[in-house]
Amino acid sequence: MTDIRIGNGYDVHALAEGLPLWLGGVKIESGVGCVAHSDGDVAIHALCDAVLGALALGDIGEHFPDNSDEFKGIDSKILLHRVMGLAADRGYAVGNADITIAMQRPKLAPYITSMRETIADIMKVAVDRVSVKATTTEKLGFVGRGEGCEVFATVLMIK
């Protein structure tokens, strides 16, 4: 019998000048980057939480504590690899993933395809099963003021 599970993930990081900006495993040209213990890839963090949520395996902070030296500056793609390993151990594969990144600037359109390809590769699915969407918040709230980046992720896991 097929077992289908849905998970959602949410993450926010503050933005600061002079830091590198990583989103969806891709380096983005930007004057600001995410303040973080890891590389600050807020999109991958939300996606990890969606996968963990689907399988009721807790959250990213539990698996990769932000006070651990092991994860200082870590490439978040490694975290997603590890989360996918936990899913595979339990016999689950990805059905599809849908990610929404809310950020006032820079424009993310030029990077969407390579984010989808990077994530699909790690999740071992075809690119047409990974959606990455970008939106602004019309200059409203902390995202609109450029103070932070907010990401929502949904994933379907199939066994």
- Could you list the residues that contact Mg ion (CB under 5 A)? 11, 45
Give the residue with the Cβ less far from Mg ion, 71 or 92.
71
Helices (H), 90-129: 112-123
Residues β-bridged to residue 91: none
Distance separating alpha carbons of residues 33 and 53, to the nearest angstrom: 26
Give the residue with the Cβ less far from Mg ion, 4 or 35.
35
* Length of the chain (residues): 159
Q: Do 90 and 3 touch, CB atoms closer than 8 A?
A: no
Give the residue with the Cβ less far from Mg ion, 16 or 158.
16
Supply the minimum distance, in Å, between the C-beta of residue 90 and Mg ion.
23
Supply the minimum distance, in Å, between the C-beta of residue 4 and Mg ion.
27
Supply the minimum distance, in Å, between the C-beta of residue 128 and Mg ion.
27
Supply the minimum distance, in Å, between the C-beta of residue 138 and Mg ion.
24
Q: Do 79 and 62 touch, CB atoms closer than 8 A?
A: no
* Nearest position to Mg ion, beta carbon: 45
